[in-house]
Structure formats: structure tokens, C-alpha cells
Structure 1
């Protein structure tokens, strides 16, 4: 089989009964986290602009706009919700992808589930299918694709998402393979857009495009069976012509990627490349009672490639600050925490922050592999001390996950950011129940 056909066969044959309670709970936690972050992002400029764009598309009543009144077509809702859930850069990640899996899965799946009246159980199995495909592909091509400049959350994520949407729609293997080919036709996204509205657009586009591809395949549209691995196909264009059939040969083998690779839930609302640094820095600040005024300079050393996404060294806006090592360090030292309020334009432009940016230096060591990941933080104080902390295990990672209480606290904080009060515990319980309806989950925080 070609890679497209392998994905089609896996998606069509995947049995929801293989989902253990642990897998269902992983799906539920991801759903709560992604939805809460999406609601928190609804007032961001990019979200408002996306909403204004939706108004030009006409009306629709298939799916909800997260945290907002009104409804839209499934495709339009998936686009808007994907933008809103990614704009804060607070959505979860997984290491093999080097990006954000859930933000290109849940907006499309929830919109499609609303349109098709699919239950929570089918949503969970569709999510597991998409995550599995995404991680298998990522292990083959993500490093090369990222190095080429692709925004792999979108360019790899769309392939997993179209498999997930096809599973939710119960497409057969042949139609799913055609949907994969049409997802390849729309796969896009560049890292050059990081720190601008276009980064979250790329996530929204991947969601909408996946629904479009699956529904076109459902209607009988066809694509090349070789779209993934031909000489002019996906692997050659986005990677280095890797053997995708070999990468996909283990699709569905236990343990599923949702357990073996796992999810990493963000504690801080900015690029994940800063998070080990922030864990170490905030620990040092608390232990030694150090503030920004006490620090002369900061040096950061990390594992190979860890600083690649941090492209803004002198940020002037909140969005740019999300991709700035210098700003993350300065804000953490000044404020003692890094939360949603740190990423307004006014916060980034504070004189004390801007003055300190040149005194933060970061470098990655040389190596062929991004793993294992680590960060070493050195603080040089004005009284001549040098204190340091190395961070390997990251809080919120698959090996050191947030507790359910910590996750619910994050969700509650996200809702509070936009003036909503919602019972995150009740949402998590609904999201865990395969017999529940997605409408019941959504109704708690609108």
C-alpha cells in the first residue's frame, strides 16, 4: 500500500473499543485544555479579525464558535476556533511533532461532531486516530520539515487531522486515502510567520482544510494514491524523501502514540521552547529572592535546536514576545511569574524589560538529535554571584504531567481571563464519558 492507503486503512479499521480508560482520560484532558485556551483567545486581535472574516462568508448553523454567540458552518467554525485556540500559544504540544497536535485536531473534530451529531466516544476515537497518524509522520519528517521552515503544526498536522475527520465521518479506506491526498494539496505554513497573526491563521487553515478534504472525499472527489510518496509528493517536498510506508507500518500498534509519545500541557502562554528555561529561572528567583534589578546578565545553554523558534530578539508586541527568549527571561525576573497578562503590547514595551533584553544570551549546543532536551540557566548577579539550574524534566510534560487539579485551575484561569465562570471539573467529567454529548461539554463555558 502507498502511505495514503495505509493511513486510509488504519483510519477506517480503527476500533474505538481499544481505547482504555487511560486513553480516554488523555483525550478528555486535551479537550478541556484546548477548548479553555481557545475561549481565552477570543478577544485577541487575530481572533477578532478572523471573526470579521467569518461575517463575509455568510451564515451557517452547523457548529459553535468557542466562547462566542452565533454559529457557523463546520468548516468556518473550525477555522475560527483554530485561530483562537492557537493565538495565545498556550495549547499543548508533543515532542515528536515539534508542534501542537490538539489545536489542529479538536477545532475540526468538534465542529464536525456538532454537524454530524457524533457522540463523545466517536470524538475520542477520532482524536486518537489523528494523533497516531500525526506522530508517526512526525517521527519520519518533522526534523527536516522544521529545518526547511515549515510550520509543522499545520503542515504535518493537517494529515493527521484529515485521518481523524475521515474516521469521525466513517469513511471507508479508499475515500480516506483520497482525503489524505486532498489534505496534501492544502498543507502549508511557514515559521517565518511566527509572532504574527498568520501563525494562528495557519492552525485555523489546517482545521478547515481537513474538513474540506474529508467532505470532498465523502462526496466522491479523488486524489492521487501517490500524493504522499511520489517523486513530487509530500515526503520529497516537505522532508527529504523519507520512506513513509516504513514510518506508518506500526500505525495502531500498542501502545498508541497518545500514551507512548504523550501530550505536554503548557504552564506558560508562550512558545514551548522557553518553558524549561522558565521553570529553572523561576525556581532560582524564588529560592534566592532575586529580582530583575539584582541581575547583571543571564546566560542560557540548551540542547541542539531548542532555540530555533525564538526568532524575536527585540520584541515590541505581545505576539513577538511569545517567540522571544530575551523577553521570557526579563518578564519572569521582573514579575515573578509568566501569565496571560505578560503578553499585551504594553507589558512587552515596559522600559525595564526593554533595557534588559540585550543582557540575555542564549545558545544551543551542537548535535544531530534534539533529544534529550534540557536547559541550563545561569544568573550573574550585580554582587558577583553566579547561580545556575539545569532542567531536564519539564513540568506539564508527559513524564511530569500536571495533575487534574492543576489542569482545571489552568482552564478556570483561561475562562476568567475573558470574564467567564465555568465549572472545569464538570467539563472534564463530561469529556471523559464516551456516552456524553459534545453539546453538554460546550454549554458549560459559552
Structure 2
């Protein structure tokens, strides 16, 4: 079989009985986290612009716009919710992808499920299908695709999202293979857009395009069975012509990718490449009482390729600050914490911050693999001290996951950021119930205080 046909066979045949209670709970945690981050992003300029764009498409219904009172057609809702859930860069990641899996799965899946009245149990198995496909493709091609400049959250994520949508809609293997080819026709996203509205657009587009691919295939639309592996196909254009069939041969093998690769929940609302540095830096700040005024310079050393996404060395906007090692370090030292308020334009433009940016130096060690990931933080103080901390295991990672209580606290903080009311504990319980509906999950939230 071609890679498209392999994905089709897997997605069509995947048995939800393979989902253990632990995996279902992981799905529920991911849905709560993604939704809460999407609500927190509702007032960002990119979200407002996406909402204004939806108004030009005309009225629609069927799926909720997260954190907003209105509804839209599933494709449009998936686009908006994907933008809002990615604009803060607070959504979860998985290491093999070098990107964000849930933000290109849940907006599409919840919109379709809400419109079609599909229960949470099927949503969970669809999420696992999409996650499985993403991780297998990522292990084969993500490093090369990322090096080429692709935003792999979108360019790989769209393939997994399309597979997830076809499973949700119970398409057969042939229809699913066509949907994969249609997804390839829409795959896009560049790292050059990091720090701008277009980065979150790329996540929103992947969600809408995945629904479009599944619905078109459902209607009989076709694509080439070789779209993934032909000489002019996905593997050649987005990677280095890797043998995707070999990577996909283990689709569905137990333990599943959700159990082995796992999810990493963000504690800080900025690029994940900074998080080990921030864990170490904030620990040193707390232990030694060091403030920005006490520090002469900071040196960061990391695992190979870890700093690649951090393209803004002298940021002036909040979005640019999310992709700046220099800003993350300066803000952590000045404020003693990193939160949603860290990433306003005004916060980034503070004179003390801007003056310190040249005194943060980061470098990655040579090597071919980003794994294992680590960061070494060295502080040089004005009184001649050198203090350092190495961080290997990251709090919130698959190795050290956040507790349910910590995850719910993050969700409630997200809601509070925009004056939203919801019961995160009740939402987590509903998201864990295979018989529940998306409407049940959303109905216990209020749009404004």
C-alpha cells in the first residue's frame, strides 16, 4: 500500500477498545487545556481579525466559537478556534513533532462532532488516530521538514488532522486515502511567520483544511494514491524523500504514540524552546533572590537545534517576545515569573528589558539529534558570582506531567484572563465521559462575567 492507503486502512479500522482509561483521561486533559488556551486567546488581535474575517463569509451555525457567543459552520469554527488556541503559544506539544498536536486536532474534531452530534468516545478515538499519524510521520520527516523552514505543526499536523476527521465521520479506507491526498494539496506553513498573526493562521488553516478534506472525500472527491510518496509528492517536497511506508507500518501498534511519545503541557505562554531555560532560571531566581539589576549577563547552552524557533533576538512586540530567548530571560529576571501578562507589547518594550537583551547569549551544542533535550543556565552577577543550573526533565513534560489540579488551575487562570466563567473540574469530568457530547462540555461555560 502507498502511505495514503496505509493511513486510510488504519484510520478506518482503528478500534476504540484500544483506548485504556488512562488514554481516555489523557484525551480529556488535552481537550480541556486546548479549549482553555483558546478561550484565553479570544482577545488577541489575531483572534479578533479572524472573527472579523468569518463575518465576511456570511452567517453559519452548527459549531461554537470558543469563548464567544456566536456560532459558525464547522469549517469556519475550526479555523477561528485553531487561531485562538495557538496565538498565545500556550497549547501543548509533543517532542517527535517538534510542534503542537492538539491545536490541529481538537478545533476540527469538536466542530465536526458538535455539528453532527457525535459522542465524546468517538472524539477520543479520533484524537488518538490523528495523534498516531502525526507522530509516525514526524519521526520520519519532522527534523528535515523543520530544517527546511516548514511549520510542522501545520504541514505535518494537517495530515494527522485529516485522518482524525475521517475516523470521526466513519469514512472507509478508500475515502480516507483520498482525504489524505486532498490534505496534501492544502499543506502549508512556514517558520518565517513565527512572531506574527500568520503563525496562528497556519494552525487554524490546518483545522479547516482537514475538515474540508474529509468532507470532500465523503462526497466522492478523489486524489492521487501517490500524493504522499511520489517523486513530486509530500515526502520529497516537505522532507528528503523518506520512506514513509516504513514509518507508517507500525500505526496502531501497542503501546500507542499517545502513551509513548506523550503530551507536554506548557506552564508558560511562549515557545517551548525556552521552557527548560525558564524552569532553571526561575528556580535560581527563587533560591538566590537574584533580580535583573544584580545580573551582568546570562549564558544559555542547550541540546542540538533547541534554539532554532527563537528567531527574534530584539523583539518589540508581544508576539515576537514569544519567540525570543533574550526576552524570556530578561522578563523572568525582572518579574520573577512568566505569565499571560508578560506578552503585551508594553511589557516587551520596557526600557530595562530592552537594555538587557544584548547580555543574554544562547548557543546549541553540535549534533544531529535534538534528543535528549536539556538546558544549562549560567548567571554571572555584578558582584562576581557564577551560578548555574542544568534542567533535563521539564515540569509539565511527559516525564513529569502536571497533576490534574495544576492543569485545572492553568485552565482557570486562562478563563480569568479574559473574564470568562467555567468550571474546569466539571469540564474535565465531562471530557472523560465517552457518552458525553461537546455541547455538554461547552454548556457549563459562560461567555462573560
CA displacement 1:187-232 (0-9 Å, x = unmatched): 0000000000000000000000000000000000000000000000
1:27 and 1:325 mapped to 2: Cα distance? 31
Query: CA offset at residue 38 of structure 1?
Result: 0.1
Contact (CA 8 Å) 2:114, 2:437: kept in 1 or not? no
In 2, the alpha carbon distance for the partners of 1:32 and 1:264 equals 14
Aligned match of 1:326: 326
How far has the Cα of 1:81 moved from its partner?
Answer: 0.2
Q: For residue 3 of structure 1, what is the aligned residue in structure 2?
A: 3
- Per the alignment, residue 108 of structure 2 pairs with 108
Structure 2 counterparts to residues 15-414 of structure 1, below 5 A: 15-414=15-414
Secondary structure in 1 matching 2:387 = strand
So what's the TM-score if we normalise by structure 2?
A: 0.99
What CA deviation, in whole Å up to 9, does each residue of 1:291-344 have, x standing for no partner? 001000000000000000000000000000000000000000000000000000
Partner Cα distance (1:253, 1:60) in 2:
40
Instruction: State the alpha-carbon separation in 1 of the partners of residues 306 and 203 from structure 2.
Output: 21
In structure 2, C-alpha distance between the alignment counterparts of 1:142 and 1:5, rounded to whole Å = 21
The Cα shift of 1:421 comes to 2.2
Deviation at 1:444, TM superposition (A): 2.0
Contact 2:103 2:203 in 1 (8 A): yes
User: Displaced runs of 4+ in structure 1, greater than 3 A?
Assistant: none
Render the CA deviation track for 1:85-121: whole Å, top value 9, x for unaligned: 0000000000000000000000000000011110000
Q: Following TM superposition, by how much is the alpha carbon of 1:420 offset from its aligned partner in structure 2, in angstroms?
A: 1.3
Task: Give the C-alpha shift of residue 442 in structure 1.
Answer: 1.0
Q: How many residues are matched?
A: 446
Secondary structure of the structure 2 residue equivalent to 1:300:
strand
Verify the 8 A CA contact 2:38 2:81 in the aligned structure 1: yes
- Once residues 106 and 429 of structure 1 are traced to their aligned partners in structure 2, the CA distance between those partners, rounded to angstroms, is 17
Rounded to whole Å, the distance in 2 between the matches of 1:256 and 1:179 is 23
- Cα deviation for residue 443 of structure 1 reads 1.5
| Alpha-carbon distance between aligned partners in 2 of 1:421 and 1:131, rounded to the nearest angstrom | 30
5+ long unaligned stretches in structure 2: none
Q: Which residue of 2 aligns with 1:430?
A: 430
Q: Hey, what's the Cα distance between the residues in 2 that align with 1:374 and 1:82? A: 29
Take 1:210 and 1:184, find their aligned partners in 2: how far apart are those partners?
10
Deviation at 1:422, TM superposition (A): 1.4
Q: Secondary structure at the match of 2:298?
A: strand
Q: CA RMSD in A?
A: 0.4
